[in-house]
Structure 1
Amino acid sequence: MRRLIPSMVAVALALMSGQVVAETLRMQCAPSKEGRQYCNEIKQRFEAQTGYTLEFIDLPPASDEKLSLFQQLFAAKDASAIDLFQADTVWIGVLNKHLLDLTDSVADIKQDFFPAAWQNNVVNGRVKAVPAYLDSGALYYRKDLLEKYAEQPPVTWADLTRIATRIQQGERAAGHKNFWGLVFQGKSYEGLTCNALEWVASQNGGSFIDAQGNITINNPQAAQALDMAAGWIGKITPKGTLGYMEEESRALFQNGDAMFMRNWPYAYVLAQDSSSAIRGKVGVMPLPKGADGHSVSALGGWQWAINGYTRHPQAAIALLKIVSDAESQKRALALMGQAPSRTALYDDPQVLAQAPYLADFKGIFAQAMPRPATQTKRQYAQVSRAIYNATFNVLRGDSDGVTAVADLQQRLERIKARGWR
């Protein structure tokens, strides 16, 4: 495994000494034991198929550090540092002009992937990446407590509020004084943008900014959605939620102190761990909807993309097709627990025998909605910051839904100015 900067130096020295490096491709690879095993399997297939050599690149662990490094490399139009890499869902618009256009090369596999995940990678009608693995918001619940109180899983947010209130009161009366009805990610950060998107879109309030780049947040349904969530704080949701990210909310739920939790798929496996207080008692389902709306789950996950300056575009495309095929996605699931982006694998007996919980996630992934990142391009970080700050102000009681969506509309209009770029 090579680190990125040393590998660039090695390439430069090789070029100066006259060594041939034209037959080598470089691919991002996770530094874990499982990640290395996965990459070695890809290496064997790729080298046998193409005759090229494949090397692995070790990137920084933090997402923002990765993005910063890619932006530096692409600003320099570096063709040799890396050929194939994984991009976060919200990076495609940011890195768009530096990514190889895959439109014609991957047209034959488009139908094999979840539509929302695929569409997230389309910028101005051109395909710039292929989904690697999925993440999407889901509602976790205590199956044993639903049975105890003779309740059914909630379909609407009103159902959730009623059930959470009833069971919270019942459990506290039974002596569980620190029991809560619902936990989610309420801190002012990217995770709150995901939660806000789910609340607003599921109430027919839109997605803040539509696919054409129009700002749509200032509407009554969006205001109502934010007020609904604010109404949970201190009642069925602890005030501490305003400081919760994924792990804080998971810890409270997994300790047995909450009825419902909004979180990502990773939490399911951890809830079934032998150390979990709720092992065998957890169900997962799509998030609730508004009375006249539909369930919406914020799309997460990572995408395979190719350096637009690569000297070996055809070989890089061949590599991308290998890492994106069903065989590779099965191995990524087996070794690293990554949820496949190919729809057929959720009906595959081999996959379901290995990870039966994925049957519950097929419907969740099918209802996923991207954040407004691809259409807002390099301005997405500002957009998301405006969204989660406005939402946080409502949750904290410093604003109300009507005021917040009107102010957010104006703020986003100022960010957009003369267009998304």
Structure 2
Amino acid sequence: MIVFQQLIKRYTCGAAVVVMLFAIGANTARAADITISCGSVGQDFEMCKKMTDEWAAKTGNKVTLFTSPNSTTDILALFRQQFGAKSSEIDVLMVDVVWPGVIKQHLLNLTPYAKGIEKSHFPAIVANNTVDGKLLAMPWFSDAGLLYYRKDLLEKYHEKVPATWEEMTATARKIQDGERKAGNPEMYGYVFQGKAYEGLTCNALEWVSSYKGGSIIEADGKISVDNPQAAKALDMAASWVGKISPKGVLSFGEEEARGVFQNGNSAFMRNWPYAWSLAQKGDSKVKDKVGVAALPKGGADGQSSATLGGWQLAVSKYSKHPAEAADLVLYLTSKEVQKRRAVEGSYNPTIPELYKDSDVLKAAPFMGALYDVFIHAVARPATVTGEKYNEVSAAFWNTAYATLSGKSKGVDSVKKLGQDLAHIRHGDKW
């Protein structure tokens, strides 16, 4: 501003120049500086910078990337601090799939800006992001639980990809026993995420839903987990520990499970899609030996269920540039940008049409198998429970952990969990 005033004083005799300078100042004022949190390191950062720079060039606005923590827990805590201060520092937020209901009062309703384009995305994700009739976030990239298996070992033991958890258990035991006799004492049948954290909530929800035991808490707020099918699912999972799964699985997160599988010491693994590209790298002991399938059904009458994961883009209600921020969100979540992210970075699109795109399938062949998985993905009860979701999830994963560790049987576990959830709810509404 000081420089601007000096220029005016210097050219007081040139009225036309003064008018021009004011015009330049007015145009500069109209440009918005949008700050986005969309990944802090590596490929996440580079791709976000590249595509936000493109939007900035097209619109004449400026984009600043905000460096956020790596831990999702820390990111949410940071956002809550910002919200508490009604800070406008971050305009566009990258939010976990379970957050829209938790931070709903701080997010802008994107419905007027989306103008129906959200209908081109997976319905389950859009429903997850819609709270009280408001579209609080646009789907950006998605995740869902998958079954990884050793193609070579299934062929060696003349087995097929298991359709049910019962079949998986039997096949895993057969391969485990055979490989141990062949000289690999560290071989196991199945690894998954079994420690007491959010990953166990994802695994256990898949088990329960696959046996048609509901989704813990239904969309209408009803607590449904206290039922025989949910108990059966937890008991089935508990039967794996120390048998086809190492006892140490009770301390496994995603990376611990991947480490065992990728080192060639497990026939099957439950994990997210990210593990595919790592299993195909040159240093992987299972390179070119891995197949991917939908998770097994809970018995012949069950269904294949995968917990919905992934990330969304939302706009802070405290942004000083809501229209521009919303436009950036719609650009980054568009079909064109999602296709490029899928081809260049193996990010899973949230638009069903892209799972049939020849360019996407050429770059990431495994994505062709994910379409049905995402269509039938089951969401965690975050939207209906809102700010109480963290308590709900902790109660669920602790219950699952108690069953896996042999401290409780399934029927007792789900009964206690139902009572615990009723106490968390406090009345008829969450």
Whether these two folds match at TM > 0.5 is: yes
Q: Structure 1 residues 398, 34: closer, same or farther in 2, change over 3 A?
A: closer
**Cα distance in structure 2, aligned partners of 1:31 and 1:336:** 15
Letter in 1 for 2:296: P
Letter in 2 for 1:414: H
1:77 corresponds, among 63, 83, 86, to 86
Specify the SS of the correspondent of 2:159.
coil
1:392 aligns with 2:410: no
Equivalent residue, structure 2, for 1:11: none
1:347 aligns with 2:356: yes
Letter in 2 for 1:222: A
Specify the SS of the correspondent of 2:99.
helix
Equivalent residue, structure 2, for 1:12: none
Equivalent residue, structure 2, for 1:318: 327
Letter in 1 for 2:394: R
Specify the SS of the correspondent of 1:120.
helix
Equivalent residue, structure 2, for 1:225: 233
1:199 aligns with 2:207: yes
Correspondence list, 1:18-417, <5 A = 23-32=32-41, 34-78=43-87, 80-291=88-299, 292-417=301-426
**Cα distance in structure 1, aligned partners of 2:293 and 2:38:** 32
Which of the pair has more CA radius of gyration?
2
- The answer on whether the counterparts of 1:38 and 1:331 sit within 8 Å (CA) in structure 2 is no
- Cα deviation for residue 21 of structure 1 reads 8.7
**Cα distance in structure 1, aligned partners of 2:108 and 2:220:** 22
Letter in 2 for 1:313: P
Q: Structure 1 residues 37, 276: closer, same or farther in 2, change over 3 A?
A: closer
- Cα deviation for residue 69 of structure 1 reads 1.1
**Cα distance in structure 1, aligned partners of 2:254 and 2:45:** 27
Letter in 1 for 2:65: F
Q: How many residues align?
A: 402
- Cα deviation for residue 299 of structure 1 reads 0.8
Deviates more, 1:283-292 or 1:352-361: 352-361
- Cα deviation for residue 163 of structure 1 reads 1.0
Letter in 2 for 1:41: K
Deviation string, structure 1 residues 173-226 (Cα, Å, up to 9, x no partner): 222222111111111111111111000000010000001111100000000000
- Cα deviation for residue 148 of structure 1 reads 1.0
- The answer on whether the counterparts of 1:394 and 1:401 sit within 8 Å (CA) in structure 2 is yes
Equivalent residue, structure 2, for 1:6: none
Give the fraction of aligned pairs with identical amino acids, expressed as a percent: 46
Deviation string, structure 1 residues 225-266 (Cα, Å, up to 9, x no partner): 001111111111111111111111111111111111111111
Letter in 1 for 2:284: S
Specify the SS of the correspondent of 1:90.
coil
- The answer on whether the counterparts of 1:233 and 1:395 sit within 8 Å (CA) in structure 2 is yes
**Cα distance in structure 1, aligned partners of 2:140 and 2:423:** 34
- Cα deviation for residue 37 of structure 1 reads 3.8
**Cα distance in structure 2, aligned partners of 1:239 and 1:331:** 42
Deviates more, 1:111-120 or 1:210-219: 111-120
- The answer on whether the counterparts of 1:226 and 1:394 sit within 8 Å (CA) in structure 2 is yes
Specify the SS of the correspondent of 1:375.
helix
**Cα distance in structure 2, aligned partners of 1:34 and 1:396:** 38
**Cα distance in structure 1, aligned partners of 2:180 and 2:48:** 50
- Cα deviation for residue 318 of structure 1 reads 1.1
- The answer on whether the counterparts of 1:394 and 1:400 sit within 8 Å (CA) in structure 2 is yes
- Cα deviation for residue 36 of structure 1 reads 4.4
Letter in 1 for 2:175: I
**Cα distance in structure 1, aligned partners of 2:263 and 2:42:** 30
Q: Structure 1 residues 268, 409: closer, same or farther in 2, change over 3 A?
A: same
- Cα deviation for residue 31 of structure 1 reads 3.4
**Cα distance in structure 2, aligned partners of 1:139 and 1:36:** 29
**Cα distance in structure 2, aligned partners of 1:304 and 1:256:** 37
- The answer on whether the counterparts of 2:121 and 2:350 sit within 8 Å (CA) in structure 1 is yes
Deviates more, 1:386-395 or 1:322-331: 322-331
Q: Structure 1 residues 172, 406: closer, same or farther in 2, change over 3 A?
A: same
- The answer on whether the counterparts of 1:379 and 1:420 sit within 8 Å (CA) in structure 2 is no
Gaps of 5+ in 2: 1-27
Equivalent residue, structure 2, for 1:5: none
- The answer on whether the counterparts of 1:34 and 1:335 sit within 8 Å (CA) in structure 2 is no
- The answer on whether the counterparts of 1:375 and 1:420 sit within 8 Å (CA) in structure 2 is no
**Cα distance in structure 2, aligned partners of 1:271 and 1:246:** 13
Letter in 2 for 1:118: V
